[in-house]
Amino acid sequence: MVTTGNITMEESHYIYGIHPVIEGIRSGKKIEKIILKQGMEGLQYKELMDLIKENDIPFQFVPIQKLNYLIKGSHQGVVAYLSQIDYVSYEEMIELAMNRKEAPIFLMLDGVSDVRNFGAIARTAECAGIDGIILPAKGGAAINADAIKTSAGALLRIPTAKVSNLKLPIFYLLESGFQIVAASEKADDVIYNINLRKPTAIVLGSEQKGISSAVLDLCTHSAKIPLMGEIGSLNVSVAAAMVIYEAVRQRTIK
Domain boundary among 82, 104, 135: 82
Look at the chain and report how many structural domains it folds into. 2
Domain boundary among 16, 50, 82: 82
Query: In this structure, are 99 and 173 located in the same domain?
Result: yes
Here the CATH number for the domain that contains residue 135 is 3.40.1280.10
3 state SS for 49-98: HHHHHHCCCCEEEECHHHHHHHCCCCCCCEEEEECCCCCCCHHHHHHHHH
Query: In this structure, are 71 and 173 located in the same domain?
Result: no
Q: Could you list the residue range(s) of the whole structural domain that residue 71 is in?
A: 2-82
Query: In this structure, are 26 and 139 located in the same domain?
Result: no
pTM exceeds 0.95, yes or no: no
Average of per-residue pLDDT across 166-183: 97
Domain boundary among 44, 66, 82: 82
Query: In this structure, are 68 and 96 located in the same domain?
Result: no
Query: In this structure, are 53 and 150 located in the same domain?
Result: no
Residue-wise pLDDT for 18-40, tens only, equals: 999 999 899 888 888 899 999 99
Query: In this structure, are 123 and 235 located in the same domain?
Result: yes
Query: In this structure, are 26 and 50 located in the same domain?
Result: yes
Give the model's confidence band at 12: pLDDT under 50 very low, under 70 low, under 90 confident, else very high.
low
Residue-wise pLDDT for 85-138, tens only, equals: 888 999 999 999 999 999 999 999 998 989 899 999 999 999 999 999 999 988
Query: In this structure, are 74 and 115 located in the same domain?
Result: no
